[in-house]
């Protein structure tokens, strides 16, 4: 059995990884004897993509969003304290023993190993024996190379340099440097761009494959964040790649006319999506967030039958007395960063036939037929209404802990069952249309990101007017008849407006920490119940204790 595979996988299996490995690896089974048909080839190719489906959510999403300014998991009475772990992420006091960090380290290396194993098998095959071509083989191998680069880039973002391995032989490898890891990713992507197929038809349905545009977008992202990763600004390189993608050099893509296009039940037809991970009800469904985001009784709001745990929500825009946070800090307050009139800012409603409106659960919660939804804890048997605030409002009144709302503290320990606005980025149908449930694919890369990267590169290089035009091009689709009441104005387009625009467009898409790092705001800015640490070492997570205990060649990141 391959030594490195054992080294990476065995701890995961012992610790109960949520990714099931249904393949057994025996040295005596060779690709030439195992693969019998094109179906076997595609099964091997798709296995690491199945891991990627899991990887882009859960622990990785948590590290990106719950350490930043837009999301929190407050303690709600007896729930969600979790030994203080949620607060440690929010306050930037995490440790090498915390679970999301281990899950992200091990999940990254596992993804690389799975893709390498598939590549090793497929590159040995004579594709002509399966009625396939050498071009098909190159496309498959370079999809895997692109996926390997994707995992490495996420790992570089989280931890810095990683062990670089090109086969599954060997064990206890040391970490390579940040620059070596960066160069490895860069070379994988440059090679893949030349050999991957290019999307030819703008209306071609996305099925999860990686194309030239996806590899080019990843390379642009690598350059976009190069100053954080290796201390070398590469915005000019990112700008050229981004412009080429928008100009169609790597295939025909265009912005959707409506805001929900890249997120809807039919987003496999979106011209905006560059790479998505397919989802289908009762198969590999994109649903991991549901249990954490929504209230126990949110199933009644959606007209569904799914339970939830009532954990995550947006950080508050308002104090307990309902006034807006305006002068204390410039980050956070994500709900109120949306302009009034923004079509996304209204409550989510499923309209039938795969159509819906709005993007949030806020205010009084009612069933699709208008019936009142009631709470089950602090508001048991009383109407449930989500607040864009954090505070123990149920403890205010005569004979209670607080005599008035003005006395209420607002912090991570003070949540209730109705605390916080809930995001509905992925639409949910009623049971009447349950065949659509989890029908929305997970858009990992979409053209809007390329527009925003190009805009930021222009902004940083002095073309503020050009940057504003790109952002406003996207913003217009979020308002009736394109009537944006608050377009970006070049004269006032500062760094805080830019980071707000990233927040508004990509809220909940698992990238916020990276954006704050690029703007040097992650450790230097305050937001709700979070004080700036000004600690450089917190820009990276520690190598997990469990990883170092299994490999004494691994060096810990400075500061931990």
pLDDT > 50? residue 17: no
Residue 535 belongs to some domain of the structure: no
User: Are residues 86 and 4 part of one domain?
Assistant: yes
* CA–CA gap between residue 320 and residue 300 (Å, rounded): 27
Pair (403, 328) in one structural domain:
yes
Task: Categorize the per-residue pLDDT at 169 as very low, low, confident or very high, splitting at 50, 70 and 90.
Answer: confident
Q: What is the pLDDT of residue 409?
A: 98
Q: What CA–CA distance (Å, rounded) separates 493 from 472? A: 12
278, pLDDT greater than 60: yes
- Specify whether the CB–CB gap between 178 and 229 falls below 8 A: yes
487 occurs within a structural domain: yes
Flag whether pLDDT at 201 surpasses 90: no
Instruction: For residues 335 and 316, give the distance between their C-alpha atoms in angstroms, rounded to a whole number.
Output: 8
Q: Is 36 exposed, middle or buried (0-12, 13-18, 19+ CB in 10 A)?
A: exposed
Distance CA 96, CA 87 (A): 15
Sorting pLDDT into bands at 50, 70 and 90, what band is 559? very high
How much is the CA Rg of the chain, to the nearest whole Å? 24
Same domain, 16 and 138: yes
With cut-offs at 50, 70 and 90, classify the pLDDT of residue 203.
Answer: confident
Helix, strand, or coil here: 355? strand
Neighbours of 207 (CB within 10 A): 9
Asked whether residue 509 is assigned to any structural domain, the reply reads yes
Per the structure, the count of domains in the chain is 3
Contact predicate 92/521, CB 8 Å: no
Which secondary structure element, helix H or strand E, spans residue 114, and what is its range?
helix 99-122
Q: Is residue 538 part of a domain?
A: no
Among the three residues 384, 414, 440, which one is the final residue of a domain in this structure?
440
The answer to whether the beta carbons of residues 456 and 467 sit under 8 Å apart is: yes
Q: Indicate the range of 201-205, 316-320, 344-348, 530-534 predicted with least confidence.
A: 201-205
Q: Are residues 160 and 52 located together in one domain of the fold? A: yes
Residue carrying the six token digits 């349905």: 205
3-state secondary structure of 236: helix
What pLDDT is recorded for position 30? 58
Residues 131, 13 share a domain: yes
Contacts of 204 (CB under 8 A, 6+ apart): none
pLDDT at 24 over 60: no
- pLDDT tens-place string over residues 349-400: 999 999 999 999 999 999 999 999 999 999 999 999 999 999 999 999 999 9
Q: Tell whether 390 and 412 lie within a shared domain.
A: yes
- pTM score of the predicted model: 0.94
Same domain, 63 and 209: no
Per-residue pLDDT, 32: 63
pLDDT tens digits, 458-467:
999 999 999 9
| 536: in domain | no
- 313-314/71-72 β-pairing: antiparallel
The whole-number average pLDDT for the span 129-140 is 95
The residue from 440, 464, 484 where one domain ends is 440
Instruction: Identify the band that residue 209 occupies on the pLDDT scale cut at 50, 70 and 90.
Output: very high
Asked whether residue 18 is assigned to any structural domain, the reply reads yes
Intra-chain end-to-end CA distance of the chain, in Å? 35
Do 288 and 265 reside in the same domain of the chain?
no
Residue 192 forms part of a structural domain: yes
Whichever domain contains 24, its CATH number is 1.25.40.390
Query: Domain containing 309: what range?
Result: 283-440
Q: CA 62 to CA 296: how far, in whole Å?
A: 20
Shared-domain flag, residues 187 and 315:
no
- Are 289 and 229 members of one domain? no
Give the 3-state secondary structure of 391-423: CCHHHECCCCCECCHHHCCCCCCCECCCECCEE
CB 422, CB 298: distance < 8 Å: yes
Pull the structure tokens for residue 458: 């222009």
> Which pLDDT value is given to residue 206?
78
Residue spans of alpha helices (H) in 197-321: 212-224, 226-230, 235-246, 290-293, 298-302
Cβ density class 296-329: b for 16+ within 10 Å, e for less: ebbbbbbbbeeebebbbbbbbbbbbeeeebeeeb
pLDDT tens string 327-358: 899 999 999 999 999 999 999 999 999 999 99
The answer to the question of residue 533 being in a domain is no
Same domain, 220 and 361: no
Answer with the one of 440, 461, 495 that is the final residue of a domain. Answer: 440
At 446-460, the pLDDT tens digits run 999 999 999 999 999
8 Å CB contact between 97 and 104:
no
pLDDT of residue 31: 62
pLDDT band at 78 (very low <50, low <70, confident <90, very high): very high
Give the phi and the psi of residue 418 in degrees, each rounded to 5. -105, 15
> Residue 98 and residue 413: Cα distance in Å, rounded?
19
301 lies in the same domain as 169: no
Tell me what pLDDT residue 546 has.
Answer: 97
């Amino acid at each position: 059995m391959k030594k490195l595979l054992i080294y990476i996988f065995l701890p995961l299996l012992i610790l109960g990884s949520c990714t099931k490995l249904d393949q057994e690896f025996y040295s005596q089974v060779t690709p030439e004897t195992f693969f019998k048909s094109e179906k076997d080839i595609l099964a091997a190719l798709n296995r690491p993509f199945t891991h990627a489906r899991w990887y882009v959510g859960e622990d990785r999403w948590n590290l990106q969003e719950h350490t930043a300014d837009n999301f929190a998991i407050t303690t709600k009475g007896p729930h969600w304290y979790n030994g203080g772990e949620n607060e440690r992420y929010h306050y930037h006091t995490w440790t090498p023993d915390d679970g999301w960090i281990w899950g992200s380290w091990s999940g990254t290396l596992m993804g690389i190993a799975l893709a390498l194993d598939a590549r090793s098998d497929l590159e040995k095959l004579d594709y002509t024996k399966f009625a396939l071509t050498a071009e098909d083989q190159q496309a498959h191998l370079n999809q895997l190379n692109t996926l390997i680069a994707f995992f490495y880039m996420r790992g570089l973002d989280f931890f810095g340099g990683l062990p670089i391995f090109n086969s599954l032989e060997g064990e206890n490898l040391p970490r390579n440097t940040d620059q070596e890891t960066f160069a490895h990713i860069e070379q994988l992507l440059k090679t893949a761009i030349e050999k991957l197929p290019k999307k030819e038809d703008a209306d071609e349905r996305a099925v999860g494959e990686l194309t030239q545009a996806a590899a080019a977008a990843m390379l642009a992202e690598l350059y976009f964040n190069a100053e954080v990763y290796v201390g070398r600004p590469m915005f000019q390189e990112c700008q050229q790649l981004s412009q080429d993608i928008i100009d169609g050099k790597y295939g025909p893509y265009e912005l959707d006319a409506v805001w929900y296009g890249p997120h809807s039940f039919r987003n496999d037809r979106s011209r905006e999506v560059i790479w998505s991970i397919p989802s289908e009800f009762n198969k590999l469904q994109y649903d991991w967030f549901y249990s954490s985001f929504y209230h126990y009784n949110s199933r009644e709001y959606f007209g569904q039958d799914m339970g939830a745990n009532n954990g995550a929500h947006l950080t508050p825009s308002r104090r307990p007395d309902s006034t807006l946070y305006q002068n204390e800090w410039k980050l956070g307050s994500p709900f109120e960063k949306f302009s009034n009139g923004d079509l996304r800012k209204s409550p989510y409603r499923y309209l039938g036939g795969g159509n819906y409106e709005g993007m949030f659960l806020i205010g009084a919660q009612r069933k699709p037929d208008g019936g009142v939804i009631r709470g089950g804890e602090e508001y048991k048997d009383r109407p449930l209404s989500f607040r864009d605030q954090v505070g123990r409002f149920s403890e205010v009144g005569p004979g209670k802990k607080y005599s008035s709302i003005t006395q209420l503290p607002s912090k991570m320990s003070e949540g209730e069952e109705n605390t916080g606005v809930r995001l509905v980025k992925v639409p949910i149908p009623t049971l009447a249309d349950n065949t659509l449930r989890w029908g929305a694919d997970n858009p990992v890369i979409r053209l809007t990101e390329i527009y925003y990267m190009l805009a930021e590169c222009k902004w940083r290089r002095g073309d503020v007017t050009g940057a504003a035009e790109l952002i406003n091009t996207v913003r217009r689709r979020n308002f009736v008849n394109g009537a944006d009441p608050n377009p970006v104005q070049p004269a006032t387009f500062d760094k805080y407006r830019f980071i707000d625009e990233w927040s508004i467009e990509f809220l909940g898409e698992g990238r916020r920490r990276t954006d704050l790092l690029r703007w040097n705001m992650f450790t230097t800015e305050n937001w709700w119940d979070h004080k700036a640490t000004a600690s450089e070492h917190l820009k990276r997570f520690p190598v997990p204790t469990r990883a170092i205990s299994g490999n004494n060649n691994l060096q810990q990141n400075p500061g931990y």
